[in-house]
Amino acid sequence: MKTNTIVVCFTINGEKKELQIPAAISALELIRDVLELKGTKEGCGIGECGACTIVVDGKAVNACLMFAAQLDGCEVMTVEGLSPAEGLHPIQQAFVDRHAVQCGFCTPGILMSTQALLMETPHPDRQQIINAVAGNLCRCTGYQSILGAVEDAAAGGLKGKSRQKTF
């Protein structure tokens, strides 16, 4: 049977792409399998866990719930686009400093939810932070350290001993 294909044009992590792809694949399949950007994770595949969170036109979305075709004309960021060529992005550093990473499976998704939050609301309050990461499940770390890391990132990435413990 012939597979229907479509052409999608979008920007991902600052690079323009024009790709012919199977019409029915998800944005997550496009990112992981076609572009081989493996930082974005597949957990549940049904919009429940947040592991696949990416930023599309400034909003955090679950890539498993989008068709790749819906990315046409969009500006997309994955965790690879967040990370500088060397070292860590301030959000990543805040997660390290707060010990907010264990197995790390949830982490790219939470970083991208945080990035979307801080793009829209540079100085979020605690409740806005909770709302922003409410769709991201973590089975390891406990949420207090994650919330603290997002607070630190919003405050400008307080480092090491200078940070205030909130847990």
Closest to 107 (Cα-Cα) out of 130, 131, 79: 79
Verify binding: residue 106, ligand FES, rule CB under 6 A.
yes
User: Using CB under 6 A as the criterion, what x/- string covers residues 1-40 for binding ligand FES?
Assistant: ----------------------------------------
Contact 28, 63 (CB under 8 A): yes
How many residues in the shown chain lie near ligand FES by CB under 6 A? 23
Out of 44, 119, 130, 155, the residue judged to bind ligand FES by CB under 6 A: 44
Name the residue type at position 82. L
The contact pattern for ligand FES, residues 128-157, with x = CB under 6 A and - = no contact, is: ----------xxxx----------------
Residues forming a β-bridge with 56: 59, 76
The structure tokens listed for 22 are: 């199977």
